Amino acid sequence: VYEDSQPGTLNDFLGAMSEDDVRPEALRRFELMVEEVARHAEEAKKNAGEAETSARNAGISASQAEESAANADTSAGEASESARQAAESAAAAKQSEEASSSSASAAAQKA
Q: How many domains are there within the chain?
A: 1
Cα separation, 59 vs 61, in Å, equals: 5
Q: How many CB atoms are closer than 10 A to CB 15?
A: 9
pLDDT digits (tens, 9 = 90+) for 62-104: 999 999 999 999 999 999 999 999 999 999 999 999 988 888 8
In a domain, 43, yes or no: yes
Which pTM value belongs to this model?
0.49
Task: Look at residue 90 in the predicted model and tell me its pLDDT.
Answer: 95
Contact 1, 10 (CB under 8 A): yes
Task: Look at residue 39 in the predicted model and tell me its pLDDT.
Answer: 98
In a domain, 28, yes or no: yes
| Parent domain of 82 | 20-103
In a domain, 13, yes or no: no
In a domain, 11, yes or no: no
In a domain, 12, yes or no: no
Task: Look at residue 4 in the predicted model and tell me its pLDDT.
Answer: 78
